[in-house]
Chains A and B, each alone.
Chain A
Amino acid sequence: MSDSCQRAEEFIYRVSWPARGMRPGMHTSRRAGMGQLFSGYASLLDYPDPRRLDVRASVRDPFGMLYTRVYRQRSAINVIMVADLSASMRFADKQRFLSDCVAAVARSAHGGGDAFGFIGIGQGSMRGTSDDRNRRDAFYLPASFRRGGVDDLLRRLADPLPLGGTVDDEPALAERLPQRRALVFLVSDFHWPTGRLARILAHLARHDVVPVVVWDAREYADLPRRGLVHLVDPETGRRRTLWMRQALAEQWRAAYAGRRAELTRRFTRSGRPPLFAGPHFVASTFTDYFLRTA
């Protein structure tokens, strides 16, 4: 494991749904196996494990059948991080947050015996289809228990994200998501065009989605008091000149507050409330989040 992963803080997560993976892990599972959780009795013929032979149950049976105790094993799950790599994530320290988050999620997942995968979405496009595909591949790490791929990924995430608009890459996301229910960290600032959020959530419907909203106070709270601000949108390249003043700053903050309320409503309805993680990655906020919600 790399230095950055070594240094990354771990957080504790848990899921409320039963894991289905074969591989033993940390999460409650329905799968019978080597575990502590008693699930029932089975005939010795069905479940031929004489170590688990239950004498009391066998004696109690009038037909003299031999019973073994069946336990549930704890299974591993897939932890997938779906990260928004659109140009809006260039703002301030968001990209830094992203790599810290990748390192921490990967370390926490691998530490808990789970598989970690990464899918980058929304990268700036040069409108070249084959190139798009390559670049998407560069930011795709299939769910795996191996720890090696994360280092390469972190190295690639250290480069500034390219400018440019997002192409319609939701089908690609759908292809890359695992079949089995997974814990998905959806990390983005959610500055998305209308409809994109709904489409992505539709693709993620099968999974347990933890929406991580990355906002920086500098984009809505620490605004210049007065003066002219000339803004460029990193994705569309559009420019706007704003005359900053008290009233506009309040409207600006109100717009973000409204968006925050809308996102909360949206995500809560689809499963989990969003996790508003400030400009810097702090692992304990993630632990707190799981303690509060799971």
Chain B
Amino acid sequence: MNIGVDMPVVLLALVLALLPWWRQPLADSEAASLAMLPADRVSVLLDWALRALASLAIAALVFALARPFIGAQRVEKVARGAHIVLTLDRSLSMDQTFAGRNPRGGDASKSETARRLLSAFIDEREHDLFGVVAFSTRPMAVVPLSDDRVAARAAVEAAATPGLAFTNVAEGLFMALSYFSERRASASRAIVLISDGAAEIDFRSAERLRAQFATYDASLYWIFLRTAGSPGLFDKPKDARNDNAKAMPERYLHKFFQTLQVPYTPYEADNPAALAQAIADIDRLETQPLVYSERIPRWDLSGWAYGAAAVLLLVGVFAKAAERRLAV
């Protein structure tokens, strides 16, 4: 709790708070003689209180003008958990069901199912930091790594809206990795890639990915939402001629991930239950103690100071309204 002000120079005007002790803003009535008047303790106390109130009001105004705040600060927090970046595929095919159709009636699309399960996942893991990246043709930084569950969940909810065009896995992963660059490596890092397809990764990107995964030491979970009938991660093509990245990008991406120097776990989910199983696995694996510092944004106090001044001044206005003069 450290209170600061933006403009300390203004605080010099706090001297003005002494003014009420010199004069009161009440109209003078010239008396014949004060010595004749009875001593009145109540009046003395009231006078003192009014002066103090006026003094405080001026001080509050000056303080408000100096723009006070409770300072931004970093709070060290210890938690069990991980830094998890959810990397969501926002390609059009995610809006289809596991059966590869557009959802009808009670059917849930893949993105809808993912959304529901991920929301539950986020809610359960209280101590994790979540970041969300969405990608299709280009990656989108949706929510940076933070413990703000509401933001993370909102981002996941937003992923349920109809998707965009294609799948550019490499760009999405780059952005997900970039999230870790701002954080100390105090926790286990995980990237959860959720997609229903893959695309070829060119040689240059592949090398950069390899290097960055090594740098950040982030484990990778790929939840592959497999559409019924489409080729899986582990399928070998029947025809050897089809065994290339163009024809079977999922298989080749899987193979590429296996060559990374970091833990990699693929999940092939071809129905909601399998997806839930995959998420439960991640939940179990990523529970290392986690030390992280959190920035608490500074909190502007000038509104409160103005409010206090207003209340105090209101009392002063009442006092002024109660002012009477001797009938001379």
Contact = CB atoms under 8 A, between A and B. Distances in A.
A254 B32 CA distance: 16
A259 B37 contact: no
A233 B31 CA distance: 6
B35 A224 contact: no
A79 to B, nearest CB: 27
Interface residues of A, number: 41
Given A239-B24, A241-B43, A241-B46, A228 B322 contact: yes
Given A230-B26, A231-B326, A232-B28, A240 B43 contact: yes
A274 to B, nearest CB: 16
A230 B43 contact: no
B235 interface: no
Most buried by B among A90, A233, A234: A233
Contact of A219 (B28, B32, B325): B32
Contacts of B33: 88, 189, 191, 233, 235
A228 B319 contact: yes
B326 A229 contact: yes
A244 interface: yes
Given A219-B326, A242-B43, A244-B324, A91 B30 contact: yes
A165 B217 CA distance: 88
B145 to A, nearest CB: 61
A91 B31 contact: yes
A118 to B, nearest CB: 22
A230 B28 CA distance: 5
Nearest to A250: B38
A272 B40 CA distance: 34
A227 B323 contact: yes
Interface string A173-198: 00000000000000001010100000
Interface residues of B, number: 29
B46 A243 contact: yes
Interface string B18-40: 00000110111111111111101
Nearest to A215: B32
Contacts of A256: 36
Of the listed residues B23, B24, B43, the one surrounded by the most CB atoms of chain A closer than 10 A to its CB is B43
Contacts of B36: 191, 220, 255-256, 259
A248 B31 contact: no
Given A91-B32, A219-B31, A241-B47, A228 B26 contact: yes
B327 interface: yes
Contact of A248 (B23, B28, B40, B323): B40
Interface string A23-44: 0000000000000000000000
Interface in B85-119: none
Contacts of B319: 228
A248 B43 contact: yes
Interface in A121-175: none
Interface string B172-210: 000000000000000000000000000000000000000
Interface in A234-272: 234-236, 238-244, 248, 251-252, 254-256, 259
B285 interface: no
B326 A224 contact: yes
A227 B37 CA distance: 16
Interface of B: 23-24, 26-38, 40, 42-43, 46-47, 50, 319, 322-328
15 contacts: A189-B32, A215-B32, A218-B328, A228-B26, A228-B319, A228-B323, A229-B326, A233-B31, A234-B30, A234-B32, A235-B33, A239-B24, A240-B34, A248-B38, A254-B38
Given A239-B24, A241-B26, 11 more contacts: A189-B32, A191-B35, A191-B36, A220-B36, A230-B27, A231-B29, A239-B28, A241-B46, A242-B43, A243-B42, A248-B40
Which 3 pairs from chain A and chain B are nearest by CB?
Answer: A191-B33, A224-B324, A227-B324
